Structure 1
């Protein structure tokens, strides 16, 4: 599966062949990503990324998630997709991360816009959610910029190495997206 966003940006389903590139990118951005992602300490070698990708592929097969690599100028710069897809309730949750050197160019905003289009047009979902730690301003800026509604805060939603962080939950309904598009 591939989604073309523009001349330089696209999304592609993650594959085992991406393991080395994804691990190298993760390792290069480790201090930056570790601020908000709880799995960095468990990703110490390429084999750890292979295990992660195998889990992604199982989610694809089960149709319960969809993980995509973000390609900028044909280079992997991050991961985005649906951490969960609930077809019964027609709700998906978007998750994403971007390497430190790819920040500030609108890549993630365009990526999430493409995921919204896919969710509402192709998957025929009713709602998309994004959850972000309350202190993670760059991550929270994406749903805020794209017209999501802040629905609430989940206290102690995630253990982040040595402390809990609260999550803000954002939601966008299909009919709201239609008026924004």
Structure 2
């Protein structure tokens, strides 16, 4: 079950980073100005940082749900490859289109992209649940862009919910999906 190893390794890394002294957290978060000044590691490490225990717990639960739903599609390397791709693309979206967002932490943007990648795999193999997940994620992100995130969530994580990260995590799947679709079509034509 390599996907469980991938999911638990992600949770372990995020958990260990949470144990670092607070003075070190500032060097790992997504900080727009620091990234523009050349601290490029933040485009990835910012997604592994969290505001508090509840934020980490919610993202850990989301990670486990995604692993349970779609983990069979991913090797350990594919799991981490997708996480790195989604982290990079989500951060680039925030950098380019959200200059007002000065800092960000959390996996939620990446997780929105990861569940859509899994939904694509479900659809590709003929599982109707993929369509339900796709429609559900589109509805959730649309709601957030119009009405914002629930105030209770912001209170629980002790920070505003960066719904822009959810949007860019989801949009980040589009180039990946086009490549995956093309590769699958080419593979099918060869068989």
Q: Judging by fraction of residues, say which structure has more strand.
A: 1
Return the index of the structure with the highest Cα Rg.
2
Q: Judging by fraction of residues, say which structure has more helix.
A: 2
TM-score, structure 2 normalization: 0.33
